[in-house]
Every structure is written in structure tokens, then in C-alpha cells.
Structure 1
Amino acid sequence: MLTLPASVRIHLCTRPVDMRKSFDGLSLLTREVLKENPLSGHLFVFFNRTRDMVRILWWHSGGFCLFSKRLEKGSFRLPHPLPEDTGAVTLEAVELTLLLEGIDLKASVRRPRWQPPPLESPV
């Protein structure tokens, strides 16, 4: 199970990525496609076209970390249909963990959660 601070967000790129890309190529995609800062400390998740390989880019303690996983059989099942026009969707840590473990989340149902009401700006 991934244990991440609440401040860390997980961004999943909705476009297939060439897995020959490494630190520099993925950080460039993070800036240009995901419109995020790769030095933010958030996780950036990339899949190849066949979804049998995933790479996760993370900035930590003054350097990039790159995590990779390649499946010998099968493919990763994404939690929901990914619109390619948006560039990225945000995942929760538990969704990423289940995705990496090979659990298909399409049949699961998420129960509604409480969220605080938006702060009203003073007028």
C-alpha cells in the first residue's frame, strides 16, 4: 500500500507515452501535456499504448525518482475511461495502488464522501 502525505497529488497522463523516455522526457511531458510543475513533489503516472508498462515520475530531495513496472502478461486496467483531450486525470493513492496490483476498478462503486463547502470570499 502506498503511504503518501495528503498534500501529494497523483496525476495520470491520459495519452500513451513512449516508454523510452526517461527523466527529462517525462518531465517535459509533465510541463507541456499535464500543465504541471514536475518539481512540485506530486506523482506523475504514464502508461504506454498497450498499457503493459507504467512509469511514475516524482521529484524528491533535490532529484527525480523514476519508478517503472512492466507486466509479463496482461495489461493495467484503468479506473475509468480516460478522455484524451484533458491531458490528465487525478487519482487517489488507493486507486493507484489497486491499479498497480492489477485489480479492475471498473466494476467497483465509490460511495459519496463528505467534502467541506467552498469558502465564500468576502465581498
Structure 2
Amino acid sequence: MLGAFGAARPRLTLSELSRASGLSLTTTHRIATDLIEWGALEEADGGYQIGLRLWEAARAAPRGLALRETALPALEAHRDDRARRHLDDVHVRRVGRARHRHVPERRDGDHTNDQAGLVPSGAAS
């Protein structure tokens, strides 16, 4: 039954689950109820979707851990590159020893970059 879900079909009705699994409506409903109680399925918009408990269980799968370890360096490099590019766009407050010169900050959301403490590495402080 869980195999019926996918990227193209993230939400299914009871009838769609029944057809996809080849089970009767009553059997599909009974199994769906059990899966909801365990957290593998969630009710949403008149249908069902994969529940968080199933994602948590999948995260612990050994193959998933190996994939994470393989992908993590590339993901971290991408994150670091995006952070460097963002800091290139940030106006930074520069404080000299004897005087204070203030450069206007760009506002992001409710906080200025200065308030958020965004100072590129190597910047004079």
C-alpha cells in the first residue's frame, strides 16, 4: 500500500489507495487506520499522505546513512559557497581603533545584517 505513494502522487484518496494496492476498500481502510495510528500515514485534504513516522524510520536505514555520509561534504561545500556569496553582498559596519565610521546596512527581514552579526571573515573590526 505504501508503494502507491510517490513524487507524482504524494496524496491519495482511499479509492486510489485501494486500486493501486489491489486491496478491497474495507481492507485498505483497516490498514490505513493502523498506519495512521502508528504515524506512517496522515490524513490530509480528504486523502492520505506519508506520515512523519515513516520518514523517521527511513532516516535510520543503513543505506540512508551511507548516502548521507557520501553527500554531506558536497552539501556543506554548497552551503559554504552560498554563505560566501551572500556575505559579498552584505554591507558591513567597520569600526576603527580611534574612530567609528558607520556604513548603512542592507535590511534583511526584520533585522539589519549588523544586528545579526554578519561580518565576513578577514573584515577589520
TM, length-normalised to structure 2: 0.24
Greater RCO between the two (CA within 8 Å, min separation 6)?
1
Structure in which a larger fraction of residues adopt helix: 2
TM, length-normalised to structure 1: 0.24
Structure in which a larger fraction of residues adopt strand: 1
